[in-house]
Amino acid sequence: LSDDIKRWRSASVEAYQSQLRCLERMRHEIMLLRTTVGTQETTINSLTMEIDRLRLSKGVCEREFREYRAQVRSMLSRLREGKEDFDAAENELMQLTLLEPKDNLVKAVSGDSDSVLQVGEEEYRTIEDEFRAEVCKVPSYHTIRISIIEKPNPKKANQLLTSFNVRCSALRDPNLRTRLYYCGGKAGTLHRILREGFQAKDMVAGDYGIGLYFTQNPVRAMQYSEPGLLLMCEVGIGMAESVLKMDKSRNRPPVGYDSVLTGDRNVDHVGIYSHQRHNELQYLIFDSTQAIPLYLLCFNI
């Protein structure tokens, strides 16, 4: 019996040691897997940052191209009208070059985290989803994608918001404020509006009056905006009067109202979206402090 107990004890010890070696090997394998996963996460994060950088660089290139194209179109228009000679136009064309290397431009934009939303963050996704929900209603626009979302400098945004709140408090219905897309912006004015806010010089003479026009439909706003850019704003509507009669000389809302809800108006220029007709109503305000820029959407056409 004593010999049997010794044999059982020896067998038990061997089985225990075998299990212990197996557990040690498993532990080693787990450590190797953790190290591999950590390395892969580092690689994934590095690739994600590189993708964001390239996307930002692409957006900067697109914005620069749009500004360049706007300047060239303006120059060609002056040439057709005889307001500029060919020598002056040639000199101006030669000066349309980058003042900084591309990497510096990207670094300048990407370094300002308060003015450019990061791809993937909640605020970016919310704006993109709202934009896509409307744009995708037009079958031919399914391929449109936002590349960059810019917002005003925080300090300037607070100044604009203060003036906006003061103006809205004087409206007949101060609580009626909503997000709308700006129906305007040509030749690089949208970036200036984003930085400085709306000014009296931004008023346009439309079919229903002289003021600032806005709509809830981004596709409709594209017809009036600079190609590839769209400005989302907060607008104090207040009490809005619906009007059907066109009046290009109207420069103030009707008595007892703060704004005008207009019918559809004609596109005042030939653009890439002007062939689309959406019959969208538009809001017209007559005070530049009655709206503030929130986001400038740069998108791929």
DSSP secondary structure letters along 2-38: HHHHHHHHHHHHHHHHHHHHHHHHHHHHHHHHHHHHH
- The residue among 229, 227, 212, 205 whose CA lies nearest residue 273 is 227
pLDDT score of 208 more than 80: yes
- Segment 104-110 mean pLDDT: 43
Q: Among 249, 286, 284, 280, which Cα is nearest to 267's?
A: 280
Q: Which DSSP state fits 254?
A: P
Whether 76 contacts 69, CB under 8 Å: no
Distance CA 166, CA 44 (A): 48
Residue 72 predicted with pLDDT over 80:
no
Q: Tell me the CA distances in angstroms from 134 to 127, 130, 262, one per residue in order.
A: 11, 7, 20
229-236/282-285 β-pairing: unpaired
CA atoms within 13 A on the CB side of 138: 18
Helix (H, G, I), strand (E, B) or coil at 66: helix
Contact 54, 102 (CB under 8 A): no
Q: Which residue has the higher pLDDT, 149 or 10?
A: 149
Q: List, for residues 125-166, the tens digit of each pLDDT value.
A: 899 888 988 888 887 787 888 888 999 988 889 999 999 999
Pairing type for strands 259-262 and 240-242 reads parallel
pLDDT of 99 strictly over 60: no
Q: What is the rounded average pLDDT of the residues 211-224?
A: 91
pLDDT of residue 203: 92
Given this model, what pLDDT does residue 236 score?
Answer: 94
Q: Report residue 176: phi and psi, to 5°.
A: -85, 85
Q: What is the pLDDT of residue 166?
A: 94
Q: In the prediction, which pLDDT does 145 show?
A: 84
The pLDDT confidence band at residue 180, using thresholds 50, 70 and 90, is very high
Q: Which of 34-38, 204-208, 231-235 has the lowest mean pLDDT?
A: 34-38
- pLDDT of the residue at 11: 81
Percentage of the chain beyond pLDDT 90 is 28
Gap between the Cα atoms of 237 and 285, Å rounded: 8
Cα dihedral: 164, 185, 253, 215 (round 10)? -90
Q: Which residue has the higher pLDDT, 170 or 37?
A: 170
φ/ψ (deg, to 5) at 232: -95, 130
What's the confidence (pLDDT) of residue 287?
95
User: Residue 105 has what pLDDT?
Assistant: 43
Which pair of tokens denotes residue 267?
């596109």
Mean of pLDDT values over 175-192? 87
Residue 116 has pLDDT above 80, yes or no: yes
How far apart CA 177 and CA 281 sit, in angstroms, is 17
Query: What is the pLDDT, as a whole number, of residue 101?
Result: 43
Give the bridge partners for 206, in sequence order. 209
What lies within 8 Å, CB to CB, of 251 at 6+ separation is 209, 210, 211, 286
Tokens representing 20? 């212990």
Q: How confident is the model at residue 76 (pLDDT cuts 50, 70, 90)?
A: confident
pLDDT on residue 140: 77
Structure tokens at 239: 């009490």
Rounded distance between C-alpha atoms, residue 263 and residue 220, angstroms: 13
56-70, 206-220, 228-242, 271-285: which has the minimum mean pLDDT? 271-285
User: What letter would DSSP give residue 268?
Assistant: S
The closest alpha carbon to 297, from 220, 191, 203, belongs to: 191
DSSP-based three-state secondary structure for 108: helix
Q: Evaluate if pTM is beyond 0.75.
A: no
Which two tokens mark 3?
Answer: 């010999």
Mean per-residue pLDDT over the chain, rounded: 79
